[in-house]
Structure 1
Amino acid sequence: MIKGVIFDLDGVLVSTDEMHFKAWKMLAEELGIDKFSKEDNKKQKGVSRMESLEVVLSKGSRIYTVAEKEELAERKNNFYKELLTELNESAILPGVVECLKMLRNKGILIGIGSVSKNAPIILTKTGLMEYVDKVSCGLDITKSKPDPEVFEVAANKLGLKYEECLVVEDSFAGIVAGKAAHMKTLGVGTEYEQLRADYEAPGLEADIDWKTILES
């Protein structure tokens, strides 16, 4: 039986993809990199901030030190946090609130498993925090997906065994991480059919057979 559902944040509950793209592009332009595109941005999906930075730097020719990379990653995050000041409930994806309410009514615990250090800010500004029991994010972990750490931390915070949890993800790295934690997985998003999840749906607004999933 599934007793807890752990959701990734960006692309699953909310859409801040455009803000991330704008922030990375702002950094790229500061570095004289003018060829950072939406296709490059797709390679940053589901990975850590430092791994995302490497995608940007690979478009240029300069070699940076570890300290310089850390400063650049922080600069990007500052751009992103500035953009987040305009975030509100309009960023919530279709069907999300209804899904969270349904799960809570069934007595299912709700966790967040996001590598983003800004997850608490996003949840607060969109009003979703009231539906969440525990948050595991970039502030709690040292390894990014596909390592299962972020989901293991979430399950531990919820007080559940890993096999009692379902992971909802929109990235392949996230699905791999969920399976590595011995959790069931539900793949959603535009590429849901390619994620190799145990269950799949285009989004949380879809007609999902929650009864079967929760009883698995």
Structure 2
Amino acid sequence: MKELAVIFDMDGVIVDSEPIYRRLNEDIFKILKIQVDENTKLSFMGGTTKRKWTILKEKCSLSQSLEELIALQNSIFTKQEWDFKQILFSEAIPLLKSLKEQEIPTVLATSSDKKRIQAVLEQCELRSYFNEIVCGVDFERGKPDPEIFLHAADKVGVSAENCVVIEDSYNGVTAAKRADMYCIGVRHKLIDMDLSQADRVVDSLSEVRVAELKQLFERPSHIL
């Protein structure tokens, strides 16, 4: 059993996509003629599309089916020209390189759909940095349920208590802590997300040092 693995969320951690998603969501809300308060918007950030529309369908008494609402979102999102390289957090690359050089397994565990994940990995040339990719749509329950992170740990053969999760949303942090994992919350400059459950909060991935992560899980030497 390896002694450390690092699990990364994608949106808001690797790429600064959340402001774009919020703008596109506003376009959808206008089409549906609904007003969505900020607390509700924050409640579905970091979760799957299905979870978001389940919340909004009930909250806003929408008559459309979940399938119709998801299809509407997909039609709006696919019209967006995605240039993920332009919104890549540059601080992510040195951290990923350092983890790879020190042979520490990494997993990308995100609620985004598979096409968007693939686009980010290809445009930003990131695929080689991750040992495994885990997509939230493959699970019945998305974040804040811990299933996605527990599966990520299993994929790289690391116990949950030896995993570090890097997240930017309340739902992601909650999922990490429910999985009994150490969590680093990354604060966004524009979106005021509750990261209070995180073990540590940073303003940038440049503050995360691999040596410090390794120290978290060092085993005391055996006394002979």
**Shorter-chain TM-score range:** 0.7 to 0.9
In structure 1, the partner of 2:79 is 82
Counterpart of 1:63 in structure 2 is: 63
CA contact (8 A) 1:19 1:80 kept: no
Which residue pairs with 2:53 in the alignment?
Answer: 53
Structure 2: stretches of 5+ with no match in the other structure: 217-224
The alpha-carbon distance between structure 1 residues 87 and 37, as it changes in their structure 2 partners (threshold 3 A), is: farther
Query: Could you tell me how far apart the structure 1 residues matched to 2:150 and 2:62 are?
Result: 37
Q: Structure 1: which amino acid aligns with 2:130? A: V
Q: In the alignment, what sits opposite 1:23?
A: 24
> CA offset at residue 133 of structure 1?
1.4
Shift of 1:121: 2.9
**Which residue of structure 1 aligns with residue 44 of structure 2?**
44
Cα displacement (A) at 1:90 = 1.4
Tell me: CA distance 1:193–1:214, structure 2 relative to 1, closer, same or farther (3 Å): farther
Q: Distance in 2 between matches of 1:124 and 1:160?
A: 27
The answer on whether the counterparts of 2:3 and 2:158 sit within 8 Å (CA) in structure 1 is no
Q: 1:11 to 1:52 in 2, by over 3 A?
A: same
Change (3 A) 1:179 1:36: closer
AA aligned opposite 2:102:
K
Looking at structure 2, the residues matched to 213 and 73 of structure 1 have their Cα atoms a distance apart, in angstroms, of: 38
Structure 1 regions of 5+ residues with no counterpart? Answer: none
**Are 1:146 and 2:144 counterparts?**
yes
* Kept in 1: contact 2:109–2:135 (CA 8 A): yes
Separation in 1 of the partners of 2:44 and 2:139?
Answer: 18
Report what 2:110 is aligned to.
Answer: 114
Cα separation, 2, equivalents of 1:164 and 1:141: 22
Equivalenced residues, count: 210
Alpha-carbon distance change, 165 to 61 in structure 1, aligned in 2, over 3 angstroms:
closer
Q: Deviations over 1:11-68 (max 9, x none)?
A: 11111113312332232222233x347665333312221332245446745434xxx2
Q: Distance in 2 between the 1:62 and 1:199 partners?
A: 38
Pairwise CA RMSD of aligned residues? 2.5
Is 1:170 the equivalent of 2:168? Answer: yes
Aligned counterpart, 2:156: 158
CA shift, 1:181, in A, is: 1.6
- Measure the CA separation in 2 of the matches of 1:108 and 1:140: 25
Q: Does the Cα contact within 8 Å between 1:94 and 1:205 map onto a contact in 2?
A: no
Query: Which consecutive segments of 4 or more residues in structure 1 shift more than 6 A?
Result: none
Contact residue 193 and residue 200 of structure 1 kept, 8 A: no
Task: Give yes or no for contact 1:145–1:174 (8 Å, CA) kept in 2.
Answer: yes
